[in-house]
Chains A and B, each alone.
Chain A
Amino acid sequence: MDHWQYLLVLAACLAITAPLEFFGAGVYRQAWRTAAAVLPVAAAFVAWDAIAVAAHIWTYNPRYVTGWELPGRLPIEELLFFVVIPLCGLLTYNAVNAILARLRRVRTRAEAPRS
């Protein structure tokens, strides 16, 4: 079970943020736009990660990862990390934008002169 730990942490992040999709225009519903924002950054961070692992700046505890690796000895979990955490960030930003826009509409309506 220990080997699934890193994957389970990432799955929990996705599960907790999933309801945020219901706000505004959503993130998963705009899959192409999401991919265009997430993937270039993920590519840069995967490169950084691979260099850091090669240079022994940080490593992954073999106890808590599945052992499935990408070239460059990167655990598959790391690739998912660079997709999952930005997704959580986008979902948060999408929801906060939607909530602030709603509040603004309510306030404008309340301030509008009644005729």
Chain B
Amino acid sequence: MTGLGYTVPAVLAVIAVCVMEFAVLRTGLFRRAAYWFSMAIVVAFQIPVDGWLTKLSAPIVIYDDRHTIGVRFPFDIPVEDFLFWWAMVTAVLLLWERRRLRDRGKKLS
């Protein structure tokens, strides 16, 4: 349970996405209510889907416990998965939002 193989890259992915927003893209996505509502819905659906993928009784994805911190909740989901999904979905929404703002700027000018 060193957490090196999965926990550390998962935390780094979250930091990378935050840097992408605050230092590069500056879309203001994190200030939008629509974003937080959407992420709440995404997490609500992640639990059954990811729960199914990671369930220890018949796992589709098998994790080496030496690379996680060893906390699996809810069901048997390694908590690192929540960082992984958050980083993945948020990065896509950031690129989507940047494009939308850029197009709107074009229309206004």
List residues of B (26-54) whose CB comes within 8 Å of A's CBs: 33-35, 37-38, 41-42, 45, 49, 52-53
User: Considering only CB atoms, which chain B residue lies closest to A34 in the complex?
Assistant: B96
B5 close to A57 (CB less than 8 A): yes
| Contact count band on B | 20 to 34
Taking a contact as CB atoms closer than 8 A, the residue among B5, B45, B62, B96 that contacts A37 in the complex is B96
B49 close to A36 (CB less than 8 A): no
Total A-B Cβ pairs within 8 A? 93
| Contact count band on A | 35 or more
Also in contact, A38 and B92, with CB within 8 A (given A60-B61, A60-B62): yes
A89 close to B93 (CB less than 8 A): yes
Which chain A residues border B67 with CB–CB below 8 Å? 57-58
Write the B1-41 contact mask toward A (1 if CB under 8 angstroms, else 0).
00001100100010000000000000000000111011001
User: Considering only CB atoms, which chain B residue lies closest to A98 in the complex?
Assistant: B34
Is residue A65 within 8 Å, beta carbon to beta carbon, of the partner chain? yes
- Which chain B residues have a beta carbon within 8 Å of chain A's beta carbons? 5-6, 9, 13, 33-35, 37-38, 41-42, 45, 49, 52-53, 58-64, 67, 85, 88-89, 91-93, 95-96, 99
- Which chain A residues have a beta carbon within 8 Å of chain B's beta carbons? 5-6, 9, 13, 16, 33-34, 36-38, 40-41, 44-45, 48, 52, 55-61, 63-65, 82, 85-86, 88-90, 92-93, 96-97, 100
